[in-house]
Every structure is written in structure tokens, then in C-alpha cells.
């Protein structure tokens, strides 16, 4: 199966390239700020399946760059999805827990009402809506708290800070599921194969288990790395940011298991593997 991937050096795109012989397009080959060019890239490559693993992910900067974020996260996926629908090939797109406002205490189901708190969430929701409106065969995979041995993520930030600090204050009232980028790549490849064989797609959730807080995630990171860092939990109100974050990012992933047999990954086990990768 010939798979075209938008994204080359991001966390999920890197893991896809490690696992499969894909055509990966970086920004120099396909700039998502130009949706027409993205559509043309699909037609030129003539793939059997397209995965969009690229996005505007600067959550705080997006508050000042709504037009750009909406183009990259909203208009470009829509153009990709419409092209894939025209070509009758599957299109798989990654979305986010930020489409929810985090106001509940239970895991969010794919059918729950969306209410993004900021520009980033709105731009990703625009992408979801554009993909669904395109018709054809599509999957939207919402995920959360992505981490890996490469790129920019919470684990690598914590490790960097621990080089010069022996104590940190970390938010404890935001709860979610840290998700290994490698597990996301595996899930996408499984779904792509199933859809190419005729299975239908839809909107799904995928996140690591068990749910935890940023504070506990940080503590587990330092424990795995063998670093003696004191982590003190603080409320979100003590760590103001330009963009508001959802307090509850738990995702109900049961339909993904039912339809594709894909289980939630154990993020603690993945964290151990990532530490080994970083030490080599």
C-alpha cells in the first residue's frame, strides 16, 4: 500500500517513517498554509491512502495567529479530504482533546458536544468539520498529550529543565492520557490497512492509560530518568498562559477498540522505552 504522509519530522510522522515505507512530505514539499498545493501533492503522488500528521501546534502563539492556525489546521485538511474523496482513497487525520472545554469529570466520548476554549482548539475543530463535510472515506483520530524521544513535548521539556533545576512546580489539576507517538503511528497504520480493505472509518479517540495529571507525569518522567527532582503540584490558576487549557482531557477510547481492535497504550511502559532510546 502506497501511503502519503503530510509531515516529516514531527513526532507522529517520524514514528510512521520508522514503521512503514511511506512518502513523507515536509514543509518544503507541502506547505499546509497553501491548501491548494496540498491537494495537488496528493494528485501528483497518486497514493492508496493519505495520513495527515502535520499541524499548527503552538497552542499559545495561536491566540495571535488565528488566520494561520485555521488555514493549517482547518482549510488544509479539508482540501486534502476533498481530494481523497475525489480519488476514492482513505484519508486519516489527527485531531485533539482541545476541541472539548474540559468541564466534565468523565472521559469524553467521540459523540460528546465540542466547545473549544481557544484558537488552537477552534482551528482543529474546523479541520474536523471540513474533513467530515468532504465525504469519502475518512478517519479523525483525536488524541492527547503526545510524547516521544524526538520533537518538542512535555517529557523532553521536563528533562531539559532538570539539567539546571532540582525542583519544579507542575500543574496538577489538568487530567489526561499521555499518548506515545509510536502508538499513534501504529494505530493509524492499522486503521489505514483496514480501510483500504473496505472497513468504514469515522471519528475516534485514542489516548494512553491510565489517566494522570501533568504533575504525576513529570514525577514518573524523573523516576524513569533516574533524576532527583522535587515536583510540587500547583493549580492551573497559578500558571497562567495565553491560551486556556481544558482541565479534563480524558478520552473514551472504547469505540476504537470495538471497531479496530486497537487498545489504549500503557504510557508508563512507553516512557521507559523512550528513556532507553534517549540514552543510546
In this prediction, residue 267 has a pLDDT band, given cuts at 50, 70 and 90, of very high
- Number of residues written out for the chain: 280
In this prediction, residue 22 has a pLDDT band, given cuts at 50, 70 and 90, of very high
Catalytic residues, by residue number, are 120
CA distance to 19, 76, 199, 235, per residue, from 84 (Å): 23, 12, 16, 44
Q: What percent of the chain has pLDDT over 70?
A: 100
Mean predicted lDDT score pLDDT of the chain:
96
Q: Could you report the per-residue pLDDT of 135-175, keeping only the tens digit for each? A: 999 999 999 999 999 989 999 999 999 999 999 999 999 99
Distance CA 106, CA 204 (A): 17
> Helix (H, G, I), strand (E, B), or coil: what is residue 86?
helix
- Residue 28: the pLDDT is 87
In this prediction, residue 67 has a pLDDT band, given cuts at 50, 70 and 90, of very high
- Residue 279: the pLDDT is 84
Where are the domains positioned within the chain?
Answer: 3-152+178-208+251-265
Structural element, H or E, at residue 239: none
222's CB contacts (< 8 A; 6+ apart) are 158, 162, 228, 229, 231
Helix 181-196 with 11-19: angle, nearest 10 deg:
60
The fold of 3-152+178-208+251-265 is Rossmann fold (3.40.50)
- Residue 253: the pLDDT is 98
Distance CA 144, CA 153 (A): 11
Grid coordinates representing 223?
Answer: 523516576
Amino acid at each position: 500500500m502506497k501511503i502519503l504522509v503530510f509531515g516529516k519530522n514531527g513526532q507522529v510522522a517520524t514514528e510512521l517513517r520508522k514503521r512503514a515505507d511511506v512518502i513523507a512530505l515536509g514543509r518544503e514539499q507541502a506547505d499546509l498554509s497553501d491548501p491548494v498545493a496540498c491537494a495537488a501533492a496528493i494528485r501528483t503522488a497518486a497514493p492508496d491512502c493519505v495520513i495527515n500528521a502535520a499541524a499548527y501546534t503552538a497552542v499559545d502563539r495561536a491566540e495571535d495567529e488565528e488566520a494561520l492556525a485555521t488555514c493549517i489546521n482547518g482549510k488544509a485538511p479539508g482540501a486534502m479530504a476533498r481530494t481523497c474523496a475525489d480519488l476514492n482513497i482513505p484519508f486519516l487525520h489527527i485531531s485533539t482533546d482541545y476541541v472539548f472545554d474540559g468541564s466534565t469529570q468523565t472521559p469524553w466520548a467521540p459523540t460528546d458536544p465540542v466547545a473549544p476554549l481557544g484558537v488552537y482548539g477552534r482551528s482543529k475543530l474546523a479541520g474536523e468539520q471540513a474533513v467530515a463535510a468532504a465525504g469519502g472515506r475518512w478517519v479523525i483520530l483525536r488524541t492527547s498529550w503526545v510524547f516521544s524521544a524526538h520533537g518538542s513535548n512535555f517529557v523532553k521539556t521536563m528533562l531539559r529543565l532538570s539539567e539546571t533545576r532540582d525542583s519544579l512546580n507542575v500543574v496538577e489539576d489538568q487530567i489526561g492520557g499521555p499518548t506515545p507517538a509510536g502508538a499513534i503511528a501504529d494505530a493509524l497504520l492499522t486503521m489505514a490497512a483496514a480501510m483500504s480493505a473496505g472497513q468504514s472509518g469515522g471519528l475516534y479517540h485514542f489516548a494512553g492509560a491510565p489517566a494522570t495529571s501533568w504533575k504525576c507525569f513529570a514525577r514518573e518522567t524523573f523516576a524513569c530518568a533516574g533524576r532527583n527532582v522535587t515536583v510540587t503540584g500547583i493549580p492551573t490558576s497559578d500558571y497562567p498562559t495565553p491560551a486556556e487549557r481544558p482541565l479534563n482531557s480524558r478520552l473514551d477510547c472504547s469505540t476504537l477498540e470495538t471497531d479496530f481492535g486497537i487498545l489504549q497504550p500503557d504510557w508508563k511502559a512507553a516512557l521507559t522505552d523512550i528513556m532507553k532510546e534517549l540514552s543510546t
